[in-house]
Chains A and B, each alone.
Chain A
Amino acid sequence: MVLEATMICIDNSEWMRNGDYSPSRFQAQADAVSLICGAKTQSNPENTVGILTMAGKGVRVLATPTSDLGKILSCMHGLEMGGEMNLAAGIQIAQLALKHRQNKNQQQRIIVFAGSPIKHEKKALEMIGKKLKKNSVALDIVDFGEEEDGKPEKLEALLASVNNNDTSHIVHVPPGQNALSDVLISTPVFTGDGEGGSGFAAAAAAAAAGGVSDFDFGVDPNIDPELALALRVSMEEERARQEAAAKRAAEEAGRQEKGEEAQPQSDSQNATSTTTEKVSDPMDEDDALLKQALALSMNIPGSDSSAGDAQMSEATNDDQELAMALQMSMQEGSKDSSAPSDVSKVLGDQSFMSSILSSLPGVDPNDPNVKDLLASLPGQSEPQQKKDEDEQPSKDDK
């Protein structure tokens, strides 16, 4: 919660067009800048942040230190890249901007993004550093982008001359998979010497890292209990819905007996099951439930149909082959891997298909649509349409 006025020096030189940080160096830098602004203003509401660009026609101050986050973010729009970065002038003008801050109680800090080669000598940089130290200005350096001989040494020398009691830091970010902002979140640039911004940093890290979070759904129940609860409830509803859909899909797979259909269905089952797995407990319970449901319906092959299981029992009454196919598809549904070669052999028979279709309520084999579908047996769109037709009667019944 240090009261601080910060000036961020952005490198908008030609070297920033490079794409070795995705999407481009400049965009990665802009994201990091907006995250830093947010972190600073969140850690203490009286903190102020200002922005200036170092390249282009000359050093240009885009925003003097202000606590208005919207103004800072809006001045980042429409920035053009070009020219060479002038590090010395940038730092000196940043120091001047900080000197004229409105609240003299704020500590002064400059954050520099050094992405292009540095044309100044080490001596000149050290002089600048000493002047900063004398006026008790802290300096954070982000070394990214262009890797040039001697650049890290120059920046380290600058840091050594500024550093007073570890208030100044340097971060070297090599190009790679991680975004610039993700790397910076864990550094003292964000966490501010170990105090303050850690709460923001943790939340930002959770959001940025996506699936890799300690909490379910990426939301800390401590920070936002209602959101966490809502997410949990909706996830369970989704899971229940998918279980029902999976059950219905297994019924359809058995009834329609199409190998290709079963595969995409089981694939979709796998997909749904893996997504729910990621977020919650393992699917073993659900698989067991599914097995139970299918086994229950399977318990009445060849006997009188009971009122409970409508389509399943009707279909199995009619056809022993169907029962066998059901069993196979049930096995498929419970296992994650699918190899329905046996099933496809059994089910590839067109005559068998038409007999099955005729037994289905609501499907007229003489319907031209159905005839077209039968003709295009191995088509992908077919299972979808059949599924829809099946779901409609099943919905009517239910």
Chain B
Amino acid sequence: MACTHDHSCEDHDCSSNWSLYKHIDLSKVTALNEANPGSVKSVFKAWEERLNSSGEHLESNEGDPELLVYIPFTSDVKIKSISVVGGADGTSPSKLRVFINRDGIDFSDAQSMQPVQEWDLVENLQGVLEYQTRYSKFQSVANITLHFPESFGGDTTQIHYIGFKGEATQLKRDVATIVYEITPNPSDHKTRAETGGGLSHVE
């Protein structure tokens, strides 16, 4: 199943663009108002499997199509665009609002806060549509929160795939352990040049 844009995919590998899912910290992904706890993790997969609806998918609780998905990354990423594949029969989400680098947002926060960006979505059952971001605002994203306030008339909202296109930096927002030395001795710290690799700088 190749991508359906108008070029042949032998030239480049479409899926490599959508490889930011590898940088998602899956153990810490959470969703609010999901019917099956933990099912949110199933929507992050490779580009080729985006239409593979045989496994689990994310569904909201009966009668309430609102969904909130919190996605932390293992390092800061830059996001170029987002793709969402919803469910059939009006269960696709119709709007998307995103918040960047904020912990612990719940529904009342999400409804009252101004999002970094929001989109009106269309039913994207083939997974060909992507929604571009204002790239300057998405330069160092440690975590992102997606808020789907409503669906296309269905009782619930179903999401089968969420994809991010962009690139990952190596920067992290973790706590750093720094050792200070009063009289450092360069010979104690082997540089990479001496051990045969990389730029020569004292670490």
Which residues from chain A sit less than 8 Å from chain B, CB to CB? 99, 104, 130, 133-136, 164-165
* B binding-site residues for A, Cβ under 8 Å: 32-33, 37, 61, 64, 66, 103-104, 106-108
CB pair A99 B37 closer than 8 Å = no
Known: A99-B106, A104-B103, A104-B104. A134 touches B37 (CB 8 A): no
A134 touches B64 (CB 8 A): yes
| Chain B contacts for A136, CB-based, 8 A | 32, 37
B104 touches A134 (CB 8 A): no
Residue of A nearest to B105 (CB): A104
Q: Summarize A's interface: helix, strand, loop or mixed.
A: loop
Known contacts A134-B32, A136-B32, A165-B37; 18 additional CB pairs below 8 A are A99-B106, A99-B108, A104-B103, A104-B104, A130-B61, A130-B64, A133-B33, A133-B61, A134-B33, A134-B61, A134-B64, A134-B66, A134-B107, A135-B32, A135-B106, A135-B107, A136-B37, A164-B37
Instruction: Across the interface, name the chain A residue whose C-beta is closest to B104.
Output: A104
Chain A residue nearest to B106 (CB atoms) is A135
Instruction: Give the shortest distance, in Å, between B195 (CB) and chain A (any CB).
Output: 39
Closest to A103 in B: B104
Residue of chain A at shortest CB distance from B37:
A165
Instruction: State the CA gap A8–B112 with chains docked (Å).
Output: 28
Give the chain B neighbours of A104 by CB distance below 8 A. Answer: 103-104
Residues of chain A within 8 A of B32, CB atoms compared: 134-136
Docked Cα-Cα span, A388 to B106, in Å, equals: 78
- Distance to closest chain A CB from B46 (angstroms): 28
Min CB gap B35→A, angstroms: 9
How many Å from the CB of A138 to the closest CB on chain B? 11
CA distance A133 to B36 in the complex (A): 12
Give CA–CA (A129, B104) in the complex, Å.
20
With both beta carbons as reference points, the residue of chain A lying nearest to B60 in the complex is identified as: A134
CB distance from B192 to the nearest CB of A (A): 37
How far apart are the CA atoms of A9 and B32 in the complex, in Å? 24
A136 to B33, CA, bound (A): 7
CA distance A104 to B106 in the complex (A): 11
- What residues on B are CB-neighbors of A99 within 8 Å? 106, 108
CA distance A72 to B107 in the complex (A): 30
